[in-house]
Structure 1
Amino acid sequence: MRLFSGLYAWTVHWAGHPRAPWALGGLSAAESSFFPIPPDALLMPMSLARPERALRFAAIATLASVLGGLLGYALGALALSLVAPWIEAAGYAPAYARGVEWAREWGFWVMLVAGFSPIPYKVFTIAAGAAGIPLIPFVAASLIGRGARFFLVAGVIAWGGARLEPWLRRHVEWLGWLSVAALAAGILWLQLG
């Protein structure tokens, strides 16, 4: 099944659009609080299309992701009853319960790891608010974790540039399905761990 090739071609084409940074910021903020698609899906082709702006794109993704994380934090702290049905319907309830438990136990460190890893960050932003992690450590961990992830992705893509694009085009299906498998493994690990 060839799902990712067409999506990759469309995204690379769209990544050069003048409004692409706004879309990246919106996607980054939404993914940190409620949306399922990670910003890497847009950050990578944007960094490939404009390698000289890759670090700027990483900064946009980082700042917008932290702002979206603050929305997730606020939902967990102030409106948990509104998001609880969504958490349940999305199948995140076990992961969310574990996220709250880990947030209470490890605070800053769990947010740092969640910000960098491929596991659903939104689960942890909401859990952090519900667990009452202090806001300053939450923001600091989010900036470091999300920044490390996005600057690493953008930097590697910009560095590889034109040399990397043919390889990506050849292996996009394999990489796409590998990403889906990694996400599924992360969710399973959260639910069973």
Structure 2
Amino acid sequence: MKIFSRLYRQVMMWAVHRHAPVYLSMTSFVESIFWPVPVDVMLAPMALAKPERAWRYAAMATVFSVLGAAFGYLLGYALWEPLVEPFINAMGYQDKMQVAQQWFSEWGVWVIFIASFTPIPYKVFTVTAGLLQMAFLPFILISLIGRGLRFFLVAGLMVWGGVRMERKLIQYIDLLGWLCVAAAVVAYLLLRH
């Protein structure tokens, strides 16, 4: 099934849309709070479509992601009981929050760097940092470093790979898409216990 190649063509059309930077900024902000789709899904095609703007896009994604992280922190800090906890319970994320709290107790501030740079759901850790009343300035600085490294790496890979990378990506996009789906299912099955 060629689902992912059709999706890729659609995403590339969105990437050159005149409002794409606004969409990237909004996605970066909400992804740090609750949005399940990673920013990279939008950043990569935008950097590939307009490599001369790749660094600007990476900077926008970083700034708006950290602003969203600050908002997520505020939600965890000030609105846990009336707003966040009922949402966590409704979504069945109690186990994820417990894991996040455990990681905070084991690794402290470094868990923010790990969550901001890797595919681990960053949003869980932004809200948890607020709930646990982590020092705000280190939270912001580490988020800025981790998110910046991640988004500038994505943009850099797209600039460096350019047209060659796009040709290879198009050639294998459906296989890669199904491998990602399989990996997500396996990760879900392993982490739900």
Distance 1:183 1:124, change over 3 A: farther
Unaligned runs of 5+ in 1: none
- Structure 2: segments with no counterpart, 5+ residues: none
Change (3 A) 1:184 1:87: farther
Alignment CA distance shift 1:190-1:71 (3 Å) = farther
- Which residue does 1:121 correspond to in 2? 122
AA matched with 1:161: G
Distance 1:177 1:32, change over 3 A: farther
The CA deviation at 1:185 is: 5.5
> Does residue 1:14 correspond to 2:9, yes or no?
no
Provide TM-score, normalisation by structure 1.
0.91
Q: How much is the aligned-residue C-alpha RMSD, in angstroms?
A: 1.9
Preserved contact between residue 104 and residue 131 of structure 1 (Cα < 8 Å): no
Residue of structure 2 in register with 1:62 after alignment: 62
Aligned counterpart, 1:30:
30
Deviation at 1:172, TM superposition (A): 1.7
Corresponding residue of 1:96: 97
Q: Structure 2 vs 1, CA of residues 124 and 23 (structure 1 numbering), >3 Å: closer, same or farther?
A: same
TM-score, normalised to structure 2's length?
Answer: 0.91
Q: 1:74 aligns to what?
A: 74
Amino acid at match of 1:16: V
Q: Percent identity?
A: 49
Change in Cα spacing, 1:16 to 1:65, as seen in structure 2 (3 Å) is: same
Q: Give, in whole Å, the separation in 2 of the partners of 1:58 and 1:173.
A: 26
User: Counterparts of 1:188 and 1:79 in 2: how far apart (Å)?
Assistant: 31
Q: Deviations over 1:136-183 (max 9, x none)?
A: 110111111111111111100111111111111122223333444555
Task: State the Cα deviation string for residues 92-149 of structure 1 (Å, max 9, x = none).
Answer: 2211111122224433200000001111110111111111110011011111111111
Aligned residue identity for 2:111: V
- Tell whether the 8 Å contact from 1:3 to 1:173 is kept in structure 2 after alignment: yes
Question: Larger Rg: 1 or 2?
Answer: 2
Amino acid at match of 2:129: A
Give the residue type in structure 2 aligned to 1:80: W
